[in-house]
Structure 1
């Protein structure tokens, strides 16, 4: 679908969902699970560090990995896609940002009420009792290549503190999932940005939007298969800035 046709749909839209994946954060230099790892982590498959079993087997390795990722996020800055999505809220009646990313770049760009389907690196909690924990690690303690770190202990039950992300094999947070579904079913234009849309259950969101009559537009630099009812714009996430400019200038 041509960019000017998408801009025309955006101009008429009232309720918009921006559903974002790793491709959006990658433009800020945040490594994705598909990127080759370096330093301490080069011997590991990141997917193997993203399970409760891996954490219980080697807490210091997994906690160090996630704190290294969190420090990378803190050093990164929102990119044009984050800023454009935040600015879109000024032009439509309702904008809902739903993300698979575990960073806070949407919030730092100015987006409000972001729905985090996969949790957040900035919300650690106890692996045993679930109580939230305030992380106090300063990034100057973390080497560039990463290091093992003994996780802090819960002040309530003395259990290990775990990252506040959704690991493989875990359910999505119920409240976030319900809010994402409601937004998808209520919108008239659904953008899927920087995600291949193949990981379920999150990949169900564009299908829900489509089933209620919304226009669904996938934005990704790598083309993938979609239905003939959906639209594809082969571009990086930063094309959102051009879309908004064309729609509202």
Structure 2
């Protein structure tokens, strides 16, 4: 893997346009459960059972109990070396976009600014009736209500069965189509549409790199597959570039 690391490092050093996709594996290194592994249960529920519009309609109190627990968990977590390395990389690449499937806000805390949160943010609240929405990092209790109209508020995240926010997918695709290097970091390549981004990048001429603990369905399709902790590999790729 050492030779591949050096090759990817050299490619990043000369890249003008870099796009990075991150998934739950990056957050896991900060102690945040992925909800897809053995630690994926909250009480007796799977996340997929609660992160749904129909679950919220049926029992908003239960869904908010789950999200308030997640907010508290994330509030006690800190960006790890992978988050910090990507924030550093942004400083030296002329055109850089970080696309994340994570909703915890740790990339922003690490200093990433050219950031596209595909699935929204745990820290954003939005009204279920009117257009009110706001970021709120305080610890909530119970079911919050809208200060504008009194209706229930919901987490500002994309639930199963919902479309991505308007324009998000188009913005991601445009950046990927123009990228010199595309990095897929800490994602299982199982959730669409993000699972197809590496293939799209390669079809458009980008060098594609996967960084993940284990092989994924994309491992045989990318130019370089680097397996291990993102918090170990990314600083080795970016350290000298950002010094």
- The whole-number CA distance in structure 2 between the counterparts of 1:220 and 1:190 is 14
**How far apart, in 1, do the equivalents of 2:120 and 2:46 lie?**
21
Q: Which has the higher strand share?
A: 2
- Cα deviations by residue, 1:161-211 (Å, 9 ceiling, x for unpaired): 101110000001122222211111111100000001121112222222112
> Any gaps of 5 or more consecutive residues in structure 1?
140-148
Where do 1:219-230 residues align within 5 Å? 219-226=211-218, 227-230=220-223
Partners of 2:174 and 2:21 in 1: how far apart? 13
In structure 1, distance between residues paired with 2:139 and 2:66: 15
Q: Provide the C-alpha distance between the structure 2 equivalents of 1:246 and 1:6, rounded to a whole number of angstroms.
A: 13
Deviation for aligned residue 1:82:
0.3
Q: Indicate the larger mover: 71-80 or 88-97.
A: 88-97
Q: Evaluate the alpha carbon distance shift between residue 228 and residue 162 of structure 1 in structure 2; reply closer, same or farther with a 3 A threshold.
A: closer
5+ long unaligned stretches in structure 2: none
Aligned to 1:11: 13
1:67-86 alignment runs, 5 A limit: 67-86=68-87
Contact 1:117/1:202 (8 A) holds in 2: no
Distance change in 2, residues 1:93/1:151 (3 Å): same
1:164 pairs with one of 149, 156, 159: 156
CA RMSD of aligned residues (A): 1.9
Structure 1 partner of 2:31: 29
Deviations 1:140-171 (A, max 9, x none): xxxxxxxxx53111233322110111000000
Give the match for residue 233 of structure 1.
226
Evaluate the alpha carbon distance shift between residue 116 and residue 134 of structure 1 in structure 2; reply closer, same or farther with a 3 A threshold: closer
Q: CA deviation at 1:223?
A: 0.8
Structure 2 partner of 1:153? 145
Query: How far did residue 137 of structure 1 move?
Result: 4.3
| Cα separation, partners in 2 of 1:212 and 1:247, compared to 1, 3 Å | same
Provide the TM-score with structure 1 as the length reference.
Answer: 0.89
Aligned pairs, number: 238
